[in-house]
Amino acid sequence: MTHGAPLASELANAARIVARIAQGKSLAEEFGRSGGLGAAGARAALIDLTHGTLRRYGRVQALVRELSQRGTANGLVEALLWCALYALESKRYGDHTVVDQAVKACAALEQWAAKGYVNALLRRFLRERAALELQLAADDVARYQHPQWWIDLLRVAYPDAWQGILDAGNGHPPMCLRVNARRAAVDEYSAQLAAESLVAHRVGPMALLLERPMPIERLPGFDAGMVSVQDLGAQRAAGALDLRPGQRVLDACAAPGGKSAHILEHANVRLTAVDIDEARASRIGVNLERLGLHAEIRVGDAAEPRAWWDGEPYDRILADVPCSASGVVRRHPDVKWLRRARDVAGYAARARAILAALWPLLAPGGKLLYATCSVFPQENAELVEAFLAGVPGARRIAPADGVPGQWLPDAEHDGFFYALIEKQL
């Protein structure tokens, strides 16, 4: 790996961010607060150290507990140790380089007194690695690198697949492209990638999966609106909605606009995009403009449509509700450590409120697509089944794309859930 700064500086910067995550801050907010983060190489190294550490958070925490002989260090020193342990296990750096640079990072963090402690703990890890593996083998959180409550929920819900879901959550996410059907054919765009020596294969109607992730600015035709980055699972929404030209369509909880854009690329419809967050809603228009698309964008709460609905029913509604994000944690590795077990019920309650509020906006004979990026049944199948049982005239039908509702994360896509509900005439 090429670095834009000495490893000591990168470790110090990563430790600052990870320490704030441990205090309950979000990774996205911390990166936003950090601004440009310097040169591209430094940014790439910082992303690797922070995201890699958080993907292995349960493990590196357990290692520090096992190795520490003087009790808990302060939060900044602990975060430095977590990042250094990840760096050692990543094999991107030499062992002695990591130890030396972690000690130097203590000075950058103004933790001079911790130099000896950091040096001793990391050297002990290198000496006792095999024994430590045996000690951690019985620790679910260290082994599977998810909170215990999360592991337990998945064990019950997916007795034959829970380990695969956890493994996927600890991996690196795939980079999938969505070709703008209004500006290019998939084969045409694939040829442009090949001309740039970029390898991709087709995985969906308008989807290409890159062999290796890359900066979006290097994608041919990105600025010209030929292509967007969107997970294959998220691309299911437009195809599952059974869209027809001229339909009036609502995308609720729409920001930053990826699914809105795909809907408009997919069919000539009249789209309204609504989001509760004004700053995020502003991104919808920016994204649509790059792609040469247009929608009516409104700021409002999907659970309170009286404040923004004009009274005309919609033929199709996409209810892409807030959720635990348990299907996309490899993209947001802080999420699994920021969430609490009680949050799942909280997200389900919010989703129920949105679904109940949007249902009256759907025209008779119309279809509503309930969507989450979760793998927890409490937010998905259980919630939809309860809604159907309590609402006359609501009938679940097969999505138009013919794919089962629950997608579990794998090498090609993240975890998503879709349920298409028809309002009977």
| 344 contacts 376 by C-beta, under 8 angstroms | yes
Query: SS3 of 100, please?
Result: helix
Distances from the Cα of 267 to the Cα of 260, 262, 296, 355, 418, angstroms: 11, 9, 16, 24, 20
Instruction: Give the pairing type, strands 270-275 and 227-229.
Output: unpaired
Q: Which of 83, 106, 253, 373 is catalytic?
A: 373
Distances from the Cα of 188 to the Cα of 216, 243, 262, angstroms: 18, 25, 18
| 211 contacts 200 by C-beta, under 8 angstroms | yes
Query: 207 has which bridge partners?
Result: 178, 204
Q: What is the DSSP string of 387-424?
A: HHHHSTTEEEE--TT---SEE---SS---EEEEEEEE-
Q: What does the alpha-carbon distance between residue 169 and residue 157 come to, in Å, rounded to a whole number?
A: 16
Query: SS3 of 37, please?
Result: coil
Query: 270 has which bridge partners?
Result: 248
Query: Residues 11, 14, 20, 23: is their CA dihedral positive or negative?
Result: negative
Clarify whether 373 is annotated catalytic: yes
SS3 content of the chain, % helix, strand, coil (to 5): 50, 15, 35
117, HSE (Cβ side, Cα atoms, 13 Å): 18
Q: What does the alpha-carbon distance between residue 7 and residue 88 come to, in Å, rounded to a whole number?
A: 12
Whether cis (ω within 30° of 0) applies to the bond prior to 256 is yes
Q: Which residues are catalytic?
A: 373
